[in-house]
Structure 1
Amino acid sequence: MPPIRVSIPSFRSEISSLEKGYTVFKIDVLMNGRQHAIEKRYSEFHALHKMLKKSIKPPEVPSKHVRNWVPKVLEQRRHGLELYLQTIIMENEVLPKIFLDFLNIRHFPSVPKTESCGSFETDSDELSKLTHQPVMLYLRDPYLFPTAHDTFANVVSEGVIHGVFYPDLQPR
């Protein structure tokens, strides 16, 4: 099971006075137990597809020319776009950065499918785009899976016990 799951549960039509109407697809992204939703227009999928063709062989993207006002056709497009994203995840050992950016996954530039998280090999421009920066990164949970040389679990346990049973004592 890959660490990233995507689905497109719904879509909605937008009407703008500046341009003709368009459809927005809601994408649910689940990665390592965290879920977020983004919205993308078909034109953004099409642009992604063009960029992905430079680095991988992506599956076919659903047709660009459809009647946007027919609900049955829009439902077929929604299903096709969902399958498109899922196929990219399943068929690529390392997901391209452009694909992760499309899904708003910016913390892990090279996420292998078999690991729970990637490395922080970023340049200064990328770090400035982050809204928050992590303090630590563990490839496994040191509290749930401690090793002999891992003192993190003991520090946390001792701190909690000390705070609960001896709240009036100050640390030395």
Structure 2
Amino acid sequence: MNPVRVSIPSFRSENNSLEKGYTVFKVDVLVNGRLHSVEKRYSEFHTLHKMLKKSIKPPEIPSKHVRNWVPKVLEQRRQGLELYLQTIIMENEVLPKIFLDFLNIRHFPSMPKTESCGSFDSESDELCKLTHQPVLLFLRDPYLLPSAHDVFSNVVIEGVVHGVFCSDLQLR
């Protein structure tokens, strides 16, 4: 289950003398018990959608062409965008970094697997390829007791055995 929850509880219209009016959607984001809000225009959702298509198969996004001044239409768009975000979270075990950036999620400690590619900052996803290399390689299971022909003893196992059994004897 994903530790991220989103909802779009409200929207508001902005009127600006430099451009025609637009709608801002309030997105509530709950991550690991912490709630924060971000405000996004539809154009930002549309940009997110285009970028997500490079790494995952996102759900359909509500239509771009609607009458922005009709409250009923705006409410339908709000519901559609909310469902859009929730579907991405439900259908993707690993949330793309672009999606986390969109929701303004910077630190995500409970989910160790996040993509490092596809953010708003980097346009070229071709340069960003995930490579996984082992940090430590064991030739056999390190949790098994060492065999008789091992040159070095297993310090971890000896320490645990000593700590569990010897400290108990010292307390008596």
Which interval holds the TM-score relative to the shorter structure? 0.5 to 0.7
Look up the SS of the partner of 2:63 in the other structure.
coil
Name which one, 1 or 2, has greater alpha-carbon Rg.
Answer: 2
Partner of 2:27: 27
- Answering whether residue 75 of structure 2 is matched by residue 118 of structure 1, we say no
Partner of 1:165: none
Partner of 1:48: 48
- From the superposition, tell whether residues 103 and 43 of structure 1 become closer, same or farther in structure 2 (CA, over 3 Å): same
RMSD over aligned CA atoms reads 2.0
Partner of 2:7: 7
Tell me if the contact between 2:4 and 2:32 (Cα under 8 Å) persists in the aligned partners: yes
Letter in 2 for 1:92: N
Tell me if the contact between 1:107 and 1:120 (Cα under 8 Å) persists in the aligned partners: no
- From the superposition, tell whether residues 119 and 58 of structure 1 become closer, same or farther in structure 2 (CA, over 3 Å): closer
Give the aligned length: 117
Tell me if the contact between 2:96 and 2:114 (Cα under 8 Å) persists in the aligned partners: no
Look up the SS of the partner of 1:36 in the other structure.
strand
Tell me if the contact between 1:26 and 1:39 (Cα under 8 Å) persists in the aligned partners: yes
Stretches of structure 1 lacking an aligned partner (at least 5 in a row): 123-148, 150-172
Partner of 1:167: none
- From the superposition, tell whether residues 55 and 120 of structure 1 become closer, same or farther in structure 2 (CA, over 3 Å): closer
Look up the SS of the partner of 1:12 in the other structure.
strand
Stretches of structure 2 lacking an aligned partner (at least 5 in a row): 117-159, 161-172
Letter in 1 for 2:111: C
What percent identity do the matched residue pairs reach?
84
Partner of 1:146: none
- From the superposition, tell whether residues 71 and 97 of structure 1 become closer, same or farther in structure 2 (CA, over 3 Å): same
Look up the SS of the partner of 2:13 in the other structure.
strand
Task: State the 1:104 CA deviation.
Answer: 0.2
Partner of 1:152: none
Letter in 1 for 2:19: E
Distance 2:113 2:52 in 1: 22
Q: What pairs with 1:38-77 in structure 2 (closer than 5 Å)?
A: 38-77=38-77
Look up the SS of the partner of 2:105 in the other structure.
coil
Look up the SS of the partner of 2:16 in the other structure.
coil
Task: State the 1:120 CA deviation.
Answer: 9.7
Letter in 2 for 1:117: M
